[in-house]
Amino acid sequence: MPAQIKILSAGAVKPGLTKVIDAFRRDNASDLRVTFATAPAILEQVNGGAAVDIVVAPQNVLDQLAKTGKIPAAGRVTLGRIGVGVLVRQDASLPRIADVNAFRDSLLSAESIVYNQASTGIYLETLFDRLGIEAEVRAKSTRYPDFAAVLDHVSKGKDREIGLGATTVIIENEKVGVKFAGPLPEEIQNYTAYAAAVTGGSEARELAQQFIRYLSSPAARSLLSGAGIQ
């Protein structure tokens, strides 16, 4: 039986990471199992002693895990960065988001706003405050633990709703009832950098490190870039 690698990953990188994992499996006949979770859940699971070989998460999450000794301080491999985008129901009109004022006005005119409680949602809270519309947005916002619930809500909605999430997962799900309106204006865009690290308690360290190195290969970089991970 091939050695098994257990990966715990943030959901934003799923479109690219799953393709990289499939390619690694074909080339190495290895058994890789990946579970996707939000940043808070990753911290809770790893700090709680979950049996994980590799963590893929935002850099700040890995920094926190390094402080608790769950992963080494060095040896990470960066996958790339992902921005925030806007989605609406498939049959809805696209909101105006070409510049900051247009985006702000679209949020104010929307009947509801839907986003998550993960890295994207944490940034959006600060952004709404910067734009001076935090109270108005909060009054009509629905928050979910992860993007899957945001996707389900927006795809089944009937009102003039605006959803927000990582650009990668919005684009990946355009065929399931939603459409990508575009990224946030560059002046207020927020990129989250994601990296991978082998845990200190990995039971398949050699193979896990082999996969980490593979993430830097031209083949893996091409797959990640094709999924919108810059």
Q: What is the pLDDT of residue 2?
A: 55
Radius of gyration of the chain (CA): 18
Other residues' Cβ atoms within 10 Å of the Cβ of residue 42 = 27
Beta bridge partners of 32: 5
Please write the tens of the pLDDT for every residue from 123-175: 999 999 999 999 999 999 999 998 899 999 999 988 889 999 999 999 999 88
Please write the tens of the pLDDT for every residue from 90-115: 999 999 999 999 999 999 999 999 99
What is the mean pLDDT of the segment spanning 187-207?
A: 92
Quote the percentage of the chain above a pLDDT of 70: 98
| pLDDT at 1 exceeding the cut of 50 | no
Q: What is the pLDDT of residue 180?
A: 94
Burial 172-183 (b: 16+ CB within 10 A, else e): bbeeebbbbbbb
Q: What is the pLDDT of residue 118?
A: 81
Domains 4-80+194-226 and 84-188 share a fold: yes
What is the mean pLDDT of the segment spanning 184-189?
A: 96
84-188: CATH superfamily: Periplasmic binding protein-like II (3.40.190.10)
Please write the tens of the pLDDT for every residue from 34-72: 999 988 899 999 999 999 999 999 999 999 999 999 999
Q: What is the pLDDT of residue 167?
A: 93
Question: Which amino acid would we find at residue 197?
Answer: A
Q: What is the pLDDT of residue 221?
A: 95
Higher pLDDT, 82 or 29: 82
Structural domain boundaries in the chain:
4-80+194-226, 84-188
- Look at the domain 4-80+194-226 and name its fold: D-Maltodextrin-Binding Protein; domain 2 (3.40.190)
Predicted TM-score of the model (pTM): 0.84
